[in-house]
Each structure stands twice: as structure tokens, then as C-alpha cells.
Chain A
Amino acid sequence: MVNIIDVGLGNIRSIEHWLGRSNLLYKRVSDVSSITNDVIIIPGVASAGEYMRRLKERNLDKEIIVRSGQGQKIIGICLGFQILTEYSEEDGGTECLGILKGFTKYIDGYKTHNGWSAFDFDSRKLSKNLHFKKQRKKIVSGRVYFNHELEVELEGAHAAKLDNGITSFFIQDNIFGFQFHPEKSQNTGQELLELII
């Protein structure tokens, strides 16, 4: 049962449609007591300050940090990826979860990054990651959708940049971060879901 973090923000319904299309069971979690030991998805489409405020209000920030340390799989999408870092420049500066060493900053010159980029992912390059060993499918190739004004800068991590020069995704052990929106990346997003869940 996939846990979708629900603090009344983020495109939760789009995430549900994404999971539903692959026949995955899911539930929304808005308090600590209802989280199960399965995957946790932190959705995107919100602003960091308000999102972190609501996570803290429900003690979900600490719970996510503890569970990520225990090896529970966390998938952060767009803003959900950005708040895995230590802080974000959004909303005048926001302290984030600090699960990933690094920070989130405005794209140089306050530029925005909207649209589609080519995406090729071969999980055999992450052969040490136990998750992928279990998967039959190994390669996802297509295009993915971005809509963001801030980008993640990670310290010496296994982050991947696409042809757009943006840190587009990060996968290490149980932490999966996507700057793009796999849930709105049509067939490619669907294939990716089936590889990562």
C-alpha cells in the first residue's frame, strides 16, 4: 500500500491516477499514525515554505526522516524532491528535511524550466541498488515533463543531469528524487513507475 503524503497540498490526485493506472494500491496519509511500512511518495506542485509548515504541524517531517533512515523507500517528486535537501531558497528561505546533503536554489537568473526533455534510464548502471536487482524491466526511454523554477544542488551525490543541465533525478539506496513529474510524463512516466515501485 503506497503512502501518499497528504497535507492538503500537491497534485495528489494526479499521483493517484498514476498509481491507479498501474493497478497499485495506495492511500493518503495525513498523520503519523496512518503511515505504513511501504513506499512513501511526497508529491510536487506547491511552495516549499507552506509545504514544510504543514509537514511540521503534523510531525510528518520527523517521521519521514526516521523512516528514510530505517531504509523505507521515499519517492520525492518536484517539490517533494527539493524538500529532501537541507534547505530551499523558496519563500525567503525554508529549512527542509535534510535527508539529502545539498540545497535547493532558484535556477540561475530566476529562469524557469518548463517542458519536456529526453530521458534514458538504465537501471543496470545502479546494479548495487538492491531494488533494481529484483526488477525484470531494466530500461526506460522516452521523455519527461518539467515545470519548476528552483533546482536541487547535491554534494557529490549520484545525481543525474539530463541534456537540460538540471539535476533531474537522484537515486541512492532507498531514496528516489525526481525533479520532473513522472506522474504527468505519459508513457515514460508509467514505465518508470513500474520500474521504481
Chain B
Amino acid sequence: MSFRIGATVLIDHNGNAVQSYGFKKKRILGNVQKVLKFLDAYEVDEIHAIVPLKGEGDDKSSDIFSRLSEIPISTPLGIGGGITERNIGEITKDPFFERCIFNSAIFNNPELLQKAKSIMGHQSMVASVPFIVDDGLKIYHSKTNSFKTMKDELWKEIESNFNEVLLLDASAEGDKKEFNFEVFEYIKFPIDRVLISGGLTKFDINKAKKMGLAGVSIDNFALHSEYSIRALR
């Protein structure tokens, strides 16, 4: 299967695309509609549109997704951030996307994952795994806004519930300081179903390709002219 060059778009509560830096700072890139249309025109292989939440989410995700559904893009789209038992029925009632991206539910919400699978199919399930390597692998749990030590049992859950994993190097996010490939010493998931994101350089993208990963998801650099999507592919 071809190596995929995807793009991550983070969306704030005002419907703006934002660039996040190491989970700390954020910069507004512009109206999300414009950004998605650019990415569509650049023919990225897929788009991951995520509403980043820290702590308890609110119900704004449904509104944001509802607005996204009006944007007529022809690029495969995954959405995530704030999908809960309360709003999953509404969000999946009229899907304009092909994939659902989950973070908090990975840890302790098998019911929600089961529901999503039965509606959208297992092929649509993507686990968002922001990580840091710090005395072992720690992965981000958005609901508690904290990094937790990764346990083997959790990999088993991820393997059974998800089609693919999107690994985000949280310490390199928004920067070009290189993706931390050390993470693969801890990954217990087939690497041909892993996409990586955060800190990616052209060297990293080539390395990911050689390793046989499913692909990469680049952030706002995808909108910069020095990155030719076709050349990266």
C-alpha cells in the first residue's frame, strides 16, 4: 500500500485552524474552511481534523463538526476531539468523514468505542496517541490533561479496537526538531498501521517510509510551499 502524506488540522472553538507548539502555545492559522480547501487543492492523502481538548470537554465539538460538514472537500477526512456518548449519535448521524479519531476513550470507554465501531465500522477507527518518552513511554490522556505510563494491556485494547494509530510526538509538535523514533522501542502495535506526526523533517518522512509505516501526518508545514506533497510521497 502506498505511503500516505496526511495533514493534521487543529481547530479551536471559534472555528479557526490553529498550530499548537508542544501542547503549550497556539497560533491561529486562519479560517478552517480555507485551510481545508487548501489541503484539498494540494491533494494531501488525508486530513485529520481535531478539536484539541484539555480536561473535560464541552459540547462545542458537535457544533464545529457540524460546520465542517458543509465544506465540500474531496480528500479523506478523519475527525476527533470531544466525541462522547452524548454526541456520538448526532455526529455520526450524517457523516461527512471516513474516520473517527479517539484519545480519552482509549483508556476507559470501551462502550463508546464499541458504539463507534458498530456505526462506522472497525476500518474507521483511529487512536490518537500523543506521547513523550521519559523513563519509558507516556501517553497523553486529554480528559485528565496528563501523560500516563503506557501499559501492555492498553496496547491490547488498542489493537482490538482500532484500525490505525496516529502517534504524535508531543515534545516536538509544531516544530521541525525531528520526530522521536525511540518511541518504536515501546510500540506493541503493527507498525504498518501506524502514522506519525510532530516535529517531522523530510529526513523523518523518508525514514518512516523506509520503516514501512502507514504514513505521516504533517501539521501546518503542509501549507507551506517548501513542502511539495507530491515530492514527499
- Interface residues in chain A, defined as those with a beta carbon under 8 Å from any beta carbon in chain B: 8-14, 17-18, 20-21, 45-47, 49-50, 79, 90-91, 112-117, 145-149, 164, 181, 183-187, 189-190
Q: Given A13-B95, A79-B121, A148-B123, answer yes or no on A115-B2 (Cβ-Cβ < 8 Å).
A: yes
A residues in contact with B163, CB < 8 Å = 112, 114, 149
Binding site for A on B (CB under 8 A): 1-4, 40, 43, 45-46, 69, 72-77, 93-99, 117-124, 163-164, 193, 214-215
Q: B75, A149: Cβ atoms under 8 Å?
A: no
What residue of chain A has the Cβ atom nearest to residue B43's Cβ?
A: A186
B111 to A: closest C-beta gap in Å: 16
- A13 (CB) vs chain B CBs: closest residue: B96
Nearest A-chain residue to B122, judged by Cβ: A149
- What distance in Å separates the Cβ of B47 from its nearest Cβ neighbour in chain A? 10
CA–CA, A181 and B124, complex, Å: 13
CA distance A115 to B163 in the complex (A): 13
Bound-state Cα–Cα, A79 to B122, Å? 12
Contact indicator B98/A14 (Cβ below 8 Å): yes
Report Cα–Cα, A112/B77, bound state, in Å.
17
Residues of A within 8 A of B214 (CB): 114-115
Other than the known A146-B1, A186-B43, what 11 A-B pairs have Cβ atoms closer than 8 Å? A18-B74, A21-B74, A46-B121, A47-B120, A114-B1, A114-B163, A116-B45, A147-B99, A149-B122, A185-B74, A186-B75
* Contact of A10 with B95 at beta-carbon distance under 8 Å, contacts A50-B118, A112-B123, A115-B215 already known: yes
B contact residues around A21 at 8 Å (CB): 72, 74
CB proximity of A67 to chain B, nearest CB, Å: 25
Give the shortest distance, in Å, between A181 (CB) and chain B (any CB).
7
In the bound complex, what is the Cα–Cα distance between A100 and B69 (angstroms)?
33
Contact: B97 with A11, CB < 8 Å?
Answer: yes
Q: Bound complex: CA of A150 vs CA of B121, how far in Å?
A: 11
In the complex, what residue of chain A is closest to B92 when comparing beta carbons? A9
